[in-house]
């Protein structure tokens, strides 16, 4: 490690003398914090600040010259597996995926603060549903445990955190006993901030004397961290063949995970982006195959770049709807399956610096000064930019709500999005979509499912019930639900929670009623011809006083309602054995 004098010399050598000006005017503590900060940024970027500044100068010069990376490329449809319907292809892929779950590790990028949502804590702590209050983190862990109970092999769980989310994530894990996971299977990687840059010469910006302006580098940091920690190669040596990248608040992701893994294996995809129907203009990237002569690459084109690219090539009107009312290209949801072998090769070659970009807001057309400091950024979905001809990149398209319904927007913004015809992506819609997906599983297994009526809460439309929670210990794939449910019906605003090894034969749950069955490991429960009629759970709207009150938890305020158990048929089996209801 460089001593202080050497570090100062290094800064001067990379033309950052200005950082040292004004140091005389601050106290020793501030000065120490300043150098600690710079050293951390230096050590956490491959090649250090020297490399970061060098990369910044190149990218800023390209940006100044107006270089468009997609110049000359025409967007066409990507190679695609269509799994939007539950048909033979779907089930073949899901079966293949489930047979290979011992080769899968899950990588959760959770460094984002969620400013659009305005939730005060970490997003992983937010309950995906408020009947049992399962947090996103608890839910993800429960899927990993269910996978392990099938294979006997713990699923490696990599979580990327940031300065903003590190303490909260560790607290959530530690205070909940890692949600039943073994702490050894959980790998926390922390992304650091990068210095902001104030001009085309790559000078680092200060917020104040001895205070570096620092900004997030983006979720593409996950690649750098998987490389620099040695974790990618370690997991490869342990027999992991695929990494699945997921985001912090997408409760639908595991509905599609196993079929997507099957699609990767079947098609030999080295990089499989899960895609959905996209609404034109929405803040979701588009998955395109870009062709320029004999060069082609399948990539996510970010929404801000898509419209000009389309206007310049295949669609004079830009990002508009096709005849089915959707965007011309599938939407990216940052749900990726990446094959380990080519991934490790790329990481070794690039040190995990994946397709950085810079997006300065210039003061004028001369492009010589910025309105405010900028920084280099990176996105995890950009990995294929580094692929050569040898790798196969494809897209697997699922029904949107089946695989994606995130909790990203506060109530006000979500209502505005709904009004404009875009998915609201709010806590309430994420929850009702979570139940909807489970209803699909029951329906497919042959249970009669009567939908409740759509309601609007604080301007956000969603369907409250039937509220169905099928825990991963009950079923992982839709094929599993098929074996466990035989006939029966669930109506209107009813609630059903199933956890563990349970079989339902002709169970009828009337509208508004609630049935909860929980079986511990080793308990097998068969339910025959049960008729459930009770007052179940009630959804209670929050008043405007509740919404302002300090006593009302924020996870309720972001959805506008709470749930109350009134009279529920609850069966809990906490000792192994065979039981009948």
Positions that interact with ligand UGB (CB under 6 A):
109-112, 160, 162, 216, 218-219, 247-248, 284-285, 300, 302, 332-334, 379, 406, 408
For ligand UGB, the closer CB: 37 or 450: 37
Buried b (16+ CB within 10 A) or exposed e, 398-415: bbbbbbbbbbbbbbebbb
Shortest spacing between CB 503 and ligand UGB, in angstroms: 36
Spatial contact of 104 and 244, defined as CB atoms under 8 Å apart: yes
- Least separation in angstroms between CB 237 and ligand UGB: 26
d(CA 204, CA 195): 6
Residue bearing tokens 């620092």: 214
- Three-state secondary structure call for residue 3: coil
| Least CB distance to ligand UGB at residue 19 (A) | 24
Least separation in angstroms between residue 303's CB and ligand UGB is: 7
Burial class (CB in 10 A: 0-12, 13-18, 19+), 354: buried
| Cβ proximity to ligand UGB, 136 vs 370, nearer residue | 136
In the block, tokens 């073949």 appear at: 92
Asked if 220 and 380 count as a contact pair (C-beta separation under 8 A), the reply is: yes
Smallest separation (angstroms) from ligand UGB to the CB of 169: 11
Residue closest to ligand UGB (Cβ):
112
Contact 329, 287 (CB under 8 A): yes
| Cβ proximity to ligand UGB, 274 vs 490, nearer residue | 274
Q: Which is nearer to ligand UGB, 124 or 442 (CB)?
A: 124
Strands (E), 61-217: 74-76, 80-83, 104-109, 127-129, 134-135, 157-161, 186-190, 194-195, 197-199, 206-208, 211-212, 214-215
CA angle, residues 136, 139, 143, in degrees to nearest 5? 140
Q: Please report how close the Cβ of residue 383 comes to ligand UGB at its closest, in angstroms.
A: 13
Smaller CB separation from ligand UGB, 218 or 262: 218
Three-state SS for 493? coil
Instruction: Classify the C-alpha dihedral 392-397-398-404 as positive or negative.
Output: positive
Structure tokens at 391: 């790798």
Q: Which two tokens stand for residue 385?
A: 């930019």
User: Quick one: 219 or 518, whose CB is closer to ligand UGB?
Assistant: 219
State which residue, 306 or 525, has the beta carbon closest to ligand UGB: 306
Nearest approach, Cβ of residue 111 and ligand UGB (Å): 3
Q: Which two tokens stand for residue 49?
A: 């600040």
Query: 3-state DSSP call for residue 313?
Result: coil
- The least CB distance from residue 250 to ligand UGB, in Å, is 8
498 Cβ neighbours under 8 A, 6+ residues apart? 469, 470, 471, 474, 504, 517
Task: Tell me whether residue 159 or residue 519 sits nearer to ligand UGB (CB atom).
Answer: 159
Nearest-approach distance from CB 338 to ligand UGB, in angstroms: 15
Which residues share a beta bridge with 211? 208
Residue nearer to ligand UGB on the CB measure, 59 or 333: 333
């Amino acid at each position: 490690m460089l001593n202080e004098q050497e570090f100062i010399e290094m800064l001067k050598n990379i033309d950052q003398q200005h950082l040292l000006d004004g140091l005389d005017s601050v106290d020793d503590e501030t000065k120490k914090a300043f150098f600690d900060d710079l050293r951390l940024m230096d050590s956490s970027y491959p090649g250090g600040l020297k490399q970061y500044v060098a990369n910044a100068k190149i990218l800023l010069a390209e940006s100044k010259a107006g270089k468009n990376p997609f110049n000359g490329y025409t967007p066409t449809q990507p190679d695609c597996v269509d799994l939007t319907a539950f048909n033979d292809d779907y089930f073949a892929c899901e079966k293949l995926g489930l047979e290979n779950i011992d080769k899968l590790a899950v990588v959760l990028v959770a460094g984002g603060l969620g400013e659009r949502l305005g939730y005060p804590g970490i997003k992983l702590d937010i309950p995906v549903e408020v009947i049992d209050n399962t947090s996103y983190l608890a839910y993800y862990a429960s899927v990993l445990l269910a996978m392990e109970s099938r294979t006997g092999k713990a699923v490696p769980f990599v979580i990327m955190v940031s300065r903003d989310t590190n303490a909260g994530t560790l607290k959530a894990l530690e205070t909940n006993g890692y949600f039943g996971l073994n702490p050894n299977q959980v790998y926390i990687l922390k992304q650091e901030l990068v210095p902001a840059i104030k001009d085309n010469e790559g000078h680092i910006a200060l917020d104040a004397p001895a205070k570096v302006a620092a900004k997030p580098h983006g979720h593409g940091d996950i690649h750098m961290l998987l490389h620099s920690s040695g974790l990618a190669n370690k997991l490869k040596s342990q027999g992991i063949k695929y990494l699945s990248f997921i985001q912090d608040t997408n409760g639908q992701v595991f509905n599609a995970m196993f079929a997507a893994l099957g699609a990767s294996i079947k098609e030999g995809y080295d990089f499989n982006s899960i895609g959905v129907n996209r609404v034109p203009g929405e803040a979701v990237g588009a998955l395109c195959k870009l062709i320029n002569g004999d060069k082609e690459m399948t990539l996510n084109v970010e929404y801000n770049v898509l419209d000009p690219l389309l206007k310049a090539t295949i669609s004079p009107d830009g990002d508009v709807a096709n005849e089915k009312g959707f965007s011309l290209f599938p939407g990216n949801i940052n749900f990726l399956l990446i094959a380990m072998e080519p991934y490790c090769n790329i990481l070794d070659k690039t040190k995990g610096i994946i397709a950085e970009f810079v997006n300065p807001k210039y003061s004028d057309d001369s492009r010589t000064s910025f309105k405010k400091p900028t920084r280099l950024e990176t996105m995890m979905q950009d990995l294929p930019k580094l692929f050569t001809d040898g790798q196969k990149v494809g897209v697997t398209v699922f029904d949107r709500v089946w695989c994606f319904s995130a909790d990203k927007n506060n109530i006000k913004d979500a209502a505005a999005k709904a009004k404009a015809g875009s998915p609201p992506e709010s806590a309430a819609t994420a929850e009702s979509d979570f139940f909807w997906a489970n209803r699909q599983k029951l329906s497919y297994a042959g249970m009669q499912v009567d939908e409740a009526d759509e309601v609007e809460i604080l301007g956000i439309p969603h369907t409250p019930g039937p509220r169905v929670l099928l825990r991963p210990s009950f079923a992982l794939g839709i094929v599993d639900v098929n074996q466990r449910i035989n006939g029966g019906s669930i109506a209107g605003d009813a609630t059903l929670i199933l956890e563990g090894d349970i079989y339902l034969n002709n169970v009828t749950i009337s509208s508004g009623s609630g049935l909860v069955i929980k079986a511990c490991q080793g308990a097998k429960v068969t339910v025959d011809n049960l008729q459930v009629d009770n007052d179940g759970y009630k959804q209670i709207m929050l008043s405007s006083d509740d919404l302002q009150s300090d006593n009302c938890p924020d996870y309720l305020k972001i959805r506008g309602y709470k749930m109350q158990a009134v009279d529920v048929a609850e069966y809990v089996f906490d000792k192994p054995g065979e039981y009948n209801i």
